[in-house]
Chains A and B, each alone.
Chain A
């Protein structure tokens, strides 16, 4: 804006007076600031504001309450003028199932903001909103998010939900978590100066600690994350808030806790996962899923473990197309398979949506520490091997963040350890981007996820050709075309019966259908018969991406007929024609 004003006023006037188009170009692409992490209450209120402002498209609902009673908000984006919600393919986007992985919520809100602000101004945005439905769920785990906000100021706090769990088997629940010993609002690292330690202050930077080399005597010991022995059992921080992983609580390839840590007693054992499971089962139109996490810069797809079958070739073509385009949209992000490139996950959320519901699903790990620099770090600023990446982060913090993210070591008194020092990284670094880079993260991930959404099926009855076979009998070919990349029914869904088959039905007041078949070759006319229910042909494999299916009906009678195609993820389309 400043630059804008420093230009000449006549230019502004000219723009306003002469060209509406130029004025449109200057419209902001989003309405909210994305240099701030929003609390649960702030998100609730901004979602209500959006709903009020764009009431034609938006409806906000709470699909359930978290363990601590916070609303789990879902915003539905649908243009009712272009058809009801359940007759359009829907893109589901959520975030923050791990409470501490906060920035996904801002990315989801950015998507909402971007779609609404640019509707009617950018053609592709208008098309997206008119063609599809969006379900936007910014906080799966609001309790964990607020734990990260209010309690810990520690980047690792709040991954779990807040259902009390007896992590140390002592019959008490969540009785020994982190403590802010010096009351500065931060959970930091603890170190203690001793005669014979195993750590030294790094010669590279006095803020960093290094293990003493062989032959060298250390003068510090490291004592872990800030906390005391709250329950007098001789252990520190052994039973903190929660203690489970809601992203291991979904019913595809679910394994109990002894195989998959944090899984819960059964799938959907937490109110948050239960609410979302119910939402999916009542919204079979969901055709695309994105679930934001942090961090590492990844575009993840399943399978989550070797126990699950590899994806079929035709499904992989779709995944690979979207994933590889994503690597270009998101610099520093890599398109990965969870169990091959990351680690094994049993019972993960997108494993359920992909492998248990047959929906094309991705999970982006937002933010990579490689993004601190857009080019290689100069040799002299790189860490030695003992301090992998730390020196670069300090350099960045010193020069680009005015040093606000590293809390200098300072003395404190610990009830068990005596005189110690506290110091280390603050909350908003490492796993989350620096505040000034949050907006770009939100924008680029929104672009990737909208690209994913644009691939969802759009189905139309392409042609209906009627050929007379004699007096009052006709051969009718109905061709249904899917113009997008994602099929109406994925291969895995067809094989496992996860999605109701697409149905093509034909009816007329003065006609009957006497036979039906699938036309395999429209040029030679080769047709495989349908065995029964000729007027209601089930297409269990759906309409593949960028392809068409032609069904033949033999009809006797006369007059007007209606062909209707109904698909869970491909919507409903109807066309009438005359037998002549």
Chain B
């Protein structure tokens, strides 16, 4: 029944280009999400498992669904993709989308050829909400501009913790903006739409009219409104690459938060994860990250240890890794965006999961909003140079809210008598409307799923291209193996090699009774580029005919090859 309804709504959307409803959409709270995930995994217990990778500050489980075809080997050994979202509490859409993706993947795990194929070769880790505490605060409370978790934090450094949060003064379920005519004004109404505000252009003789405040009162009498609300650490500013030390939201120190630690520890012990995909209001897919210009291409040492030490962290993408990002970018544009959104959202630089996963964990790390406001037709675009919101101006946003009939997308300004400020007006944008649609378009879930399938298709995959045993003399054998990467990703990203976080591919010869004459027991192979990058490994051994041996090639991201063989008496 539910499914039928979804399709109908989506059908409407496709036909008329019009959606309806309020924001946020009916996102499940933690209890409901937990119930649904447990139910799903129970229904598909062959393919799916549910695990908690840790507890949040308020003691909720951070749920992760693992999906893989049980008939094709250990899910812990196949190259894997992690999809993760709702790191910022107010990015509810990402978590909802991952739940929808999970449902769809499991429903089609056997019937859909592409999905069945993906699950035979790969493992998917789906983590809908890294910040369930924060999202529950929004779902069960007032809708506020709120991205952090719920670990108490003294944001304004006054010795009191979480003592001045917002209040829904106009009782409409939303925390919006108060505008006040005051002597210390900074803003004016825009010349086009009087509902919108912008900073006054005092350089050109414009006199400011309004001062803006977040909706609420000064609970602690310090002269500031809403400066220390509940919680206060933004998980996506708490990761240890380019950590924004001592900045607002970054937390008391790097990886201070239980959620940050949980995902780092999870990934650090699941080295078969070859790519991370984050749904967040930041993009590095449509616009691939800038490569670092000055960097010299380095050939990583393929020894048991990496003696190479960097003096400092790189400032940009390793140029050798750019082709992977460019390829993914063109796939995404083909599969997901027929008409690209008005403007790509730049990748958030400081202390994010996305940055950590590339620079320190050393894998392909992608970030994109799951959904964006459709870009307006050329003639509908507002005046340039205005405040950008989700790739467009506030005018664009407002027009979209109206055309999509989002009932609570913009609150008209209404007078209110404020205990400290006197006569004010309360109104403005719903704080969630920028990123969270009232209804996830069904077709978009399919497109994003198609993209996921194609990304896993690019994963590195090792094959034994040729293998030969040559009898050089009595009891002397030469063993040669050519190992090839037939995927698109390299077996180790350039940054994975630099960071030393991806173990070099290891070719090991074992047997009942033999002596090495040439070559090493563990031969460490260099990173193999995608689309056919190959290397030859050779050994000369001393052993009797009939000796049973095995060649094992182990790559963290490209799989394991086991090749048993017997030494023959013949040439």
B246, A169: Cβ atoms closer than 8 Å: no
A533 interface residue (CB < 8 Å to B): yes
B222, A251: Cβ atoms closer than 8 Å: no
Name the CB-closest residue of A to B313.
A259
A205 interface residue (CB < 8 Å to B): no
Task: Tell me which of B255, B360, B503 contacts A169 (CB under 8 A).
Answer: B503
Contacting residues of chain A (256-292) with chain B, CB-CB under 8 angstroms: 256-259, 261, 265-269, 281
CB distance from A565 to the nearest CB of B (A): 12
A267, B222: Cβ atoms closer than 8 Å: no
Please measure, in the bound complex, the distance between the C-alpha atom of A266 and the C-alpha atom of B360, giving whole angstroms: 10
A531 interface residue (CB < 8 Å to B): yes
B220, A500: Cβ atoms closer than 8 Å: no
B256 interface residue (CB < 8 Å to A): yes
Contacting residues of chain B (201-230) with chain A, CB-CB under 8 angstroms: 220-223
B157, A540: Cβ atoms closer than 8 Å: yes
Question: Which residues of the partner chain A approach B268 to less than 8 Å between Cβ atoms?
Answer: 265-266
Task: Tell me which of A258, A266, A500 contacts B306 (CB under 8 A).
Answer: A258
A533-B222 in contact given A233-B520, A259-B310 (Cβ < 8 Å):
yes
Please measure, in the bound complex, the distance between the C-alpha atom of A383 and the C-alpha atom of B195, giving whole angstroms: 86
B500, A258: Cβ atoms closer than 8 Å: yes
Question: Which residues of the partner chain A approach B567 to less than 8 Å between Cβ atoms?
Answer: none
Question: Which residues of the partner chain A approach B312 to less than 8 Å between Cβ atoms?
Answer: 255, 259, 307
B240, A258: Cβ atoms closer than 8 Å: no
B158 interface residue (CB < 8 Å to A): yes
CB distance from A422 to the nearest CB of B (A): 26
A168 interface residue (CB < 8 Å to B): yes
Name the CB-closest residue of B to A531.
B223
A266, B304: Cβ atoms closer than 8 Å: no
A105 interface residue (CB < 8 Å to B): no
Interface 0/1 of B117-150, CB less than 8 Å to A: 0000000000000000000000000000000000
A532-B222 in contact given A234-B516, A256-B360 (Cβ < 8 Å):
yes
CB distance from A221 to the nearest CB of B (A): 21
B524 interface residue (CB < 8 Å to A): yes
Contacting residues of chain B (307-323) with chain A, CB-CB under 8 angstroms: 308-313
Name the CB-closest residue of B to A566.
B159
B181 interface residue (CB < 8 Å to A): no
A256, B503: Cβ atoms closer than 8 Å: no
Please measure, in the bound complex, the distance between the C-alpha atom of A232 and the C-alpha atom of B510, giving whole angstroms: 11
Please measure, in the bound complex, the distance between the C-alpha atom of A252 and the C-alpha atom of B254, giving whole angstroms: 8
A48 interface residue (CB < 8 Å to B): no
Please measure, in the bound complex, the distance between the C-alpha atom of A170 and the C-alpha atom of B505, giving whole angstroms: 10
Question: Which residues of the partner chain A approach B524 to less than 8 Å between Cβ atoms?
Answer: 169
Question: Which residues of the partner chain A approach B310 to less than 8 Å between Cβ atoms?
Answer: 258-259
B504 interface residue (CB < 8 Å to A): yes
B506 interface residue (CB < 8 Å to A): yes
B522 interface residue (CB < 8 Å to A): yes
B504, A266: Cβ atoms closer than 8 Å: no
B500, A257: Cβ atoms closer than 8 Å: yes
Name the CB-closest residue of B to A497.
B157
Please measure, in the bound complex, the distance between the C-alpha atom of A251 and the C-alpha atom of B252, giving whole angstroms: 10
Question: Which residues of the partner chain B approach A124 to less than 8 Å between Cβ atoms?
Answer: none
Question: Which residues of the partner chain A approach B256 to less than 8 Å between Cβ atoms?
Answer: 251
Please measure, in the bound complex, the distance between the C-alpha atom of A238 and the C-alpha atom of B520, giving whole angstroms: 14
A518 interface residue (CB < 8 Å to B): no
A167 interface residue (CB < 8 Å to B): yes
B159, A503: Cβ atoms closer than 8 Å: yes
B401 interface residue (CB < 8 Å to A): no
A171, B222: Cβ atoms closer than 8 Å: no
Task: Tell me which of A233, A267, A356 contacts B522 (CB under 8 A).
Answer: A233
Name the CB-closest residue of A to B218.
A532
CB distance from A493 to the nearest CB of B (A): 11
CB distance from B313 to the nearest CB of A (A): 6
B506, A265: Cβ atoms closer than 8 Å: no
From DSSP, what is the main secondary structure of chain B's interface residues?
Answer: loop
CB distance from B307 to the nearest CB of A (A): 10
CB distance from B240 to the nearest CB of A (A): 6
A235 interface residue (CB < 8 Å to B): yes
Tell me the count of chain B residues lying within 8 A, CB to CB, of chain A: 45
A170-B506 in contact given A251-B256, A259-B309, A533-B222 (Cβ < 8 Å):
yes
Task: Tell me which of B222, B240, B503, B521 contacts A266 (CB under 8 A).
Answer: B240
Name the CB-closest residue of B to A346.
B312
CB distance from B151 to the nearest CB of A (A): 12
Please measure, in the bound complex, the distance between the C-alpha atom of A458 and the C-alpha atom of B119, giving whole angstroms: 66
CB distance from B351 to the nearest CB of A (A): 12
B254, A254: Cβ atoms closer than 8 Å: yes
Please measure, in the bound complex, the distance between the C-alpha atom of A353 and the C-alpha atom of B270, giving whole angstroms: 32
A501 interface residue (CB < 8 Å to B): yes
A251, B309: Cβ atoms closer than 8 Å: no
A501-B158 in contact given A258-B498, A266-B240, A532-B221 (Cβ < 8 Å):
yes
CB distance from B233 to the nearest CB of A (A): 13
Please measure, in the bound complex, the distance between the C-alpha atom of A531 and the C-alpha atom of B504, giving whole angstroms: 61
Please measure, in the bound complex, the distance between the C-alpha atom of A496 and the C-alpha atom of B554, giving whole angstroms: 47
A168, B305: Cβ atoms closer than 8 Å: yes
A533, B221: Cβ atoms closer than 8 Å: yes
Question: Which residues of the partner chain B approach A337 to less than 8 Å between Cβ atoms?
Answer: none
Task: Tell me which of B265, B360, B504, B521 contacts A234 (CB under 8 A).
Answer: B521
B454 interface residue (CB < 8 Å to A): no
A255, B304: Cβ atoms closer than 8 Å: no
B255, A538: Cβ atoms closer than 8 Å: no
B246, A496: Cβ atoms closer than 8 Å: yes
CB distance from B239 to the nearest CB of A (A): 9
A171-B253 in contact given A256-B360, A258-B310, A266-B240 (Cβ < 8 Å):
no
Question: Which residues of the partner chain A approach B360 to less than 8 Å between Cβ atoms?
Answer: 256
Name the CB-closest residue of A to B155.
A497
Task: Tell me which of A234, A268, A501 contacts B255 (CB under 8 A).
Answer: A268
B223, A532: Cβ atoms closer than 8 Å: yes
Question: Which residues of the partner chain A approach B521 to less than 8 Å between Cβ atoms?
Answer: 232-234
Please measure, in the bound complex, the distance between the C-alpha atom of A197 and the C-alpha atom of B253, giving whole angstroms: 54
B548 interface residue (CB < 8 Å to A): no
B506, A258: Cβ atoms closer than 8 Å: no
Contacting residues of chain B (279-329) with chain A, CB-CB under 8 angstroms: 304-306, 308-313
CB distance from A384 to the nearest CB of B (A): 32
B499 interface residue (CB < 8 Å to A): yes
B259 interface residue (CB < 8 Å to A): no
B159, A266: Cβ atoms closer than 8 Å: no
Name the CB-closest residue of A to B252.
A281
A266-B157 in contact given A167-B305, A356-B253, A533-B220 (Cβ < 8 Å):
no
B154 interface residue (CB < 8 Å to A): yes
B264 interface residue (CB < 8 Å to A): yes
B405 interface residue (CB < 8 Å to A): no
Question: Which residues of the partner chain B approach A170 to less than 8 Å between Cβ atoms?
Answer: 304, 506, 508, 522
Contacting residues of chain A (370-410) with chain B, CB-CB under 8 angstroms: none
B38 interface residue (CB < 8 Å to A): no
CB distance from A140 to the nearest CB of B (A): 19
CB distance from B178 to the nearest CB of A (A): 19
Name the CB-closest residue of A to B503.
A169
B261 interface residue (CB < 8 Å to A): yes
| Chain B residues in the interface with A (C-beta under 8 A) | 154, 157-159, 220-223, 240-241, 245-246, 252-256, 261, 264-265, 268, 304-306, 308-313, 360, 498-501, 503-504, 506, 508, 516, 520-522, 524, 554
Q: What are 26 A-B pairs at a CB distance below 8 A?
A: A167-B304, A168-B304, A169-B504, A170-B508, A171-B506, A233-B522, A234-B521, A252-B253, A255-B313, A256-B313, A256-B360, A256-B499, A256-B501, A257-B501, A258-B309, A258-B498, A259-B313, A261-B309, A267-B254, A268-B255, A269-B265, A356-B253, A497-B157, A532-B222, A533-B221, A533-B222
Nearest 9 Cβ contacts at the A-B interface: A168-B304, A251-B253, A532-B223, A497-B157, A265-B268, A496-B246, A233-B521, A500-B159, A266-B255
Given pairs A256-B241, A261-B309, A265-B264, 14 additional interface contacts (CB within 8 A):
A167-B305, A169-B504, A170-B304, A234-B520, A238-B305, A251-B254, A251-B255, A258-B309, A258-B310, A258-B499, A259-B312, A266-B264, A267-B240, A533-B222
| Chain A residues in the interface with B (C-beta under 8 A) | 166-171, 232-235, 238, 251-252, 254-259, 261, 265-269, 281, 307, 352, 356, 496-498, 500-501, 503, 531-533, 538, 540
